[in-house]
């Protein structure tokens, strides 16, 4: 296979997944937008976490919440639990990496806040512990996963929102996660501006 054909395959696979995801994810994403907007409108905040590329996506989402997405608006309360290397490494060194996010959720999370987790596999121990902590703090969870949701799916309650990308390849899952995060940002902005 030549390189052009290989790249073309990536495009075709991504297009097919976008079409497939269109059948299930928009309604749940709209519900997630409403949940985040309700939390923010009631003086709550959004905590966000994930590992590796998902950590980068968590920070990107928070940058749009605090800074802006496409339009000027007030900054919104959001914290990327991945961003403070001193905190993450201290917890990891002293307590184990599995607790890197949950310790922060216990410290910073309050009833009415939202925890957004990103895990393509749905099996990241640090993300699983964060969900447990969020539930103990009476927080609602919005989970972005793939691979059928993995262990994350088993932890979620009826109050939580599960945006599970219907695919098995991590790169494709992460592409849809980025689209979902952008849709969340756009929807929150629309709610703030009274456009919906």
- Per-residue pLDDT of 135-180, as tens digits, reads 999 999 999 999 999 999 999 999 999 999 999 999 999 999 999 9
Q: Indicate the pLDDT class of residue 1, thresholds 50, 70 and 90.
A: low
DSSP label at 117? Answer: E
Please state, in angstroms and rounded to a whole number, the distance separating the CA atoms of residues 163 and 28: 7
- Per-residue pLDDT of 38-77, as tens digits, reads 999 999 999 999 999 999 999 999 999 999 999 999 999 9
Residue 28, domain extent:
3-192
Query: How many distinct structural domains can be found in the chain?
Result: 1
Out of 16-25, 138-147, 187-196, which region has the weakest mean confidence (pLDDT)?
187-196
- Per-residue pLDDT of 61-71, as tens digits, reads 999 999 999 99
Residues 6+ apart with CB under 8 A from 157: 135, 141
**b vs e for 97-123, b when ≥16 Cβ sit within 10 Å of the residue's Cβ?**
bbbbbbbbbeeebeeebbbbbbbbbbe
- Nearest by Cα to 116 from 77, 170, 69, 84: 77
Q: Across the beta sheet with 161-164, what order do the strands follow?
A: 78-80, 46-50, 114-119, 140-145, 161-164
Q: What is the pLDDT of residue 184?
A: 98
Please state, in angstroms and rounded to a whole number, the distance separating the CA atoms of residues 76 and 79: 10
For residue 17, give the CATH number of its domain. 3.40.50.10490
* pTM score: 0.96
Q: What is the pLDDT of residue 111?
A: 98
Going through 17-113 in order, the beta strands assigned E by DSSP cover 46-50, 78-80
- Nearest by Cα to 179 from 47, 26, 75: 26
Q: Which two tokens stand for residue 116?
A: 């957004």
Q: What is the pLDDT of residue 194?
A: 83
């Amino acid at each position: 296979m030549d390189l052009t054909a290989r790249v073309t395959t990536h495009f075709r696979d991504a297009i097919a997944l976008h079409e497939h995801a269109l059948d299930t994810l928009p309604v749940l994403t709209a519900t997630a937008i409403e949940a985040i907007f309700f939390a923010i409108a009631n003086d709550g905040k959004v905590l966000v976490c994930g590992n590796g590329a998902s950590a980068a996506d968590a920070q990107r989402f928070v940058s749009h919440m605090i800074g802006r997405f496409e339009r000027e608006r007030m900054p919104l309360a959001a914290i990327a639990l991945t961003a403070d290397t001193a905190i993450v490494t201290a917890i990891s060194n002293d307590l184990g990496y599995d607790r890197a996010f949950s310790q922060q959720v216990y410290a910073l999370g309050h009833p009415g806040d939202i925890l957004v987790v990103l895990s393509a596999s749905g099996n990241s121990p640090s993300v699983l512990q964060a969900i447990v902590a969020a539930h103990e703090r009476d927080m609602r969870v919005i989970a972005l996963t793939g691979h059928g949701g993995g262990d994350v799916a088993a932890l979620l309650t009826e109050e939580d929102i599960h945006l599970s990308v219907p695919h098995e390849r991590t790169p494709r899952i992460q592409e849809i996660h980025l689209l979902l995060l952008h849709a969340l940002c756009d929807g929150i902005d629309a709610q703030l501006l009274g456009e919906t």
